[in-house]
Amino acid sequence: MALDQTLANPTTAPWWTSAVVYQVYPRSFADSDGDGVGDLAGLTSRLDHLERLGVDVIWLSPVYASPHADNGYDISDYQAIDPVFGTLEDFDELLAQVHARGMKLVMDLVVNHTSDEHPWFVESRSSRDNPKRDWYWWRPPREGFEAGQPGAEPTNWGSFFSGPTWTLDEATGEYYLHLFDSKQPDLNWENPEVRQAVYAMMRWWLDRGVDGFRMDVINLISKDPDLPDGATTGVGGLGDVFPHVATRPGVHDFLREMNREVFEGRVGEFLTVGEMPGVTWEQARLFTDPARGELDMVFQFEHVWLDQGPGGKFDPKPLDLRDLKASLGRWQTALADVGWNSLYWNNHDQPRVVSRFGDDGEHWRESATALATVLHLHRGTPFVYQGEELGMTNAPFAGVHEMRDVESLNHYRHSVAAGGDPESVLRGLRAMGRDNARTPVQWDATPNAGFTTGEPWLAVNPNHTWLNAQVQYDDPRSVFNHYRSLIRLRHELPVVALGDFRMLLADDPHVYAYERTLDDTRLLVVANLSGTPQTVDLDREWSAADVVLANTEEALISPGGVDLRPWEALVLTRSSGA
C-alpha cells in the first residue's frame, strides 16, 4: 500500500503529523483559588510544565458554563466560561500565554447534546409548539400507552449511562431523547437551524483565537429518523441503541457542511479531531481523507475495548497482546495511503494505562515508559493525557462513596438494584471507572499534591508522596523525561512522523516490535510488555545500529538478537545502506 506522497514528504505534510497533543481536564489540573477545583488561572500557572515537556497542542476539556451533571460535558452556554473555572478574561490570558510559548489550544466541542439547562432546551420544553421544539428529539408515548406508564418510552433504547434513553417531560406529556444522562438532551442535527447555531458558535471561538476542536462523540449526531426499537441486551429489558445512532451516513454530510461553514477560507493552522465510538477503519478512511473535507483525524475505540469481558466495560479481562498488535497494526495499514491516525492510551474516560496494560507495582517506571515508547513511535498524532507523562496510576477507591463520576454511580446503582454483588460491581469500577483518570495531577509531595490549598473535589492519589512531577524533573530516567525524549524524536526524525509501518512478531504474546521506514532511514522499536525476560531474534544488521532511546541503562544487544528485561523498550535506527 503506497503512502500518500503529501504525507510522506516533510516539506508538504500537515503540521500536525509531527505534533504531540496534551489533554487538560481542567477540573483536576491545577487550582489557583483554593476551592478544590482546577481552573484556568491554575492551568496558566502550570504552562511551563507543558512547555518543558515539549508538546505542541493543548486540548482543553470543557470549561463552558455547565451544571456539571457530567463534569462539564453538559453545557448550558457555549459562549461563557463556567465561574468555577474563571472568566472569559482568564481564558483570553491563557490563550495568549499558550500562543506566546509556541503552542496551540484546541477546545472540546460537545454538540451531540446540551445541558437541560441550556436556553435552547428551556425554550424547547416550554410547549409543544415552541419554535425550538424541533431543536431536540421529542416523541409522544409509545402507541397504546399513557405517558409515565412503564414501557411507554418511544423506543426501548438503553442509555450509555444506564437506564432508558427517554425521559418524560410532564408539562408537555412527551419524552425527550438523551443518549447519556437525563440532563444531557440530544440536539436534533436534522434541523438546519441547529447546525447553523453550532457553526456560528464555532466561528466565534475561532475568531477569539482558538486553533481547532476536539469533537465529542461526533459520530452520534445523525440518528435513524424512524427511531426503531433496538435488539434487547438483557440489561433491564432495554434495547441496543448503538446501531441506530452511530456513524450513520448523515454524519459525513454534516461534517462536510461544518468544514465549509466554519473552516473554509479561514487563514491559520487548525486541528479537527472527532471522537467516534465504534468507528471502523473503513469509515475512518472516509472521515479523514483530505479530499473529502471532513476531519483531520478520529479517535477510535477498538484497542481500548479489547480488555472488556462478556459483561462489557465494567467486566474487564486480561489483555492479550496479540489482539492489541492486530488492532493497532490493522489501523496503521488501513490509514497508510489515505487519512491519519490518532494515538492514545489515556483520556478523561479511560483508566490509567500503567495500571490497565502495565504493572503499577514492581515495574511501574519500566512499564509506563515501555507503553509510551510503543504507542508514540507509531504513525499518527500522539495524545498525552494529564499525568500520563508522570506515570500516574489508578486510584485505590475504598468504596463507591469516594467516586464522583455519573457513569460509575449510575452503573453501581442500577447493577446492585438488579441483584448484582456490590463487591463485584465495585471491583469493575475500581479497574475501569473514569474517576481513575480524574484524580488531581500530582505536582509534588505536599498535602493534596500541590493541586490545591483547599479540599480537592476528588481525593488525591496517596502515592503522590513519591509519584509526582517535582521529583521527576531532574531525574534523567524518570517517566517525564522519557516522554520528553519521545516527543523530541517525533519533532526531529521525519521517519517517526511520516515513515511507513511494518509490524513484526505479530504472534508473540509478550514482545511488541515494529519497523518504520522513510527513504533510507529505518527505525526499529522492540519492547517486552511482560514481567518476564524475553529474547528476540534480530537480523544481524541491527546489532550495530544506533540506540536512540531506551528505558534501561544498558541494552543487551548481540549479533542476531537482544535480551529484553521485564518491560524493557529499545529504539534503534540505521540507514538502509549501512
Q: Check 216, 294, 515, 568 and give the catalytic one.
A: 216
Residue recorded with cell 512522523: 497
Q: Check 275, 307, 388, 500 and give the catalytic one.
A: 275
* Residue 118, number of CB atoms within 10 A of its CB: 25
In angstroms and rounded to an integer, the radius of gyration of the C-alpha atoms of the chain is 24
556: helix, strand or coil:
strand
Q: How far is CA 489 from CA 377, 478, 484, in A?
A: 9, 17, 9
Which residue, 160, 157, 221, is CA-closest to 186? 221
* Cell numbers describing residue 516: 518504520
* Cell numbers describing residue 225: 429518523
Total residue count of the chain as it appears in this document: 578
Which residue, 487, 468, 488, is CA-closest to 478? 468
Let me know if 351 is exposed, middle or buried by CB neighbors in 10 A (0-12, 13-18, 19+).
Answer: buried
In sequence order, the 6+-apart residues with CB closer than 8 A to the CB of 420 are none
β-strand pairing of 569-575 with 546-550: antiparallel
Helix (H) or strand (E) holding 289: none
β-strand pairing of 64-65 with 57-60: unpaired
Q: How far is CA 348 from CA 143, 526, 559, in A?
A: 40, 28, 44
In sequence order, the 6+-apart residues with CB closer than 8 A to the CB of 401 are none
Q: What is the spatial distance between Cα 47 and Cα 37, in angstroms, rounded to a whole number?
A: 17
Which residue, 348, 211, 201, is CA-closest to 269? 211
Give the 3-state secondary structure of 125-178: CCCCCCCCHHHECEECCCCCCCCCCCCCCCCCEECCCCCECEEEECCCCEEEEC
Q: Residue type for 51, please? A: E
Packing angle, helices 250-258 and 281-288, rounded to 10: 30
Q: Among this protein's residues, is 515 annotated catalytic?
A: no
Q: Among this protein's residues, is 216 annotated catalytic?
A: yes
* Residue 470, number of CB atoms within 10 A of its CB: 13
Let me know if 97 is exposed, middle or buried by CB neighbors in 10 A (0-12, 13-18, 19+).
Answer: middle
**Catalytic residue positions?**
216, 275
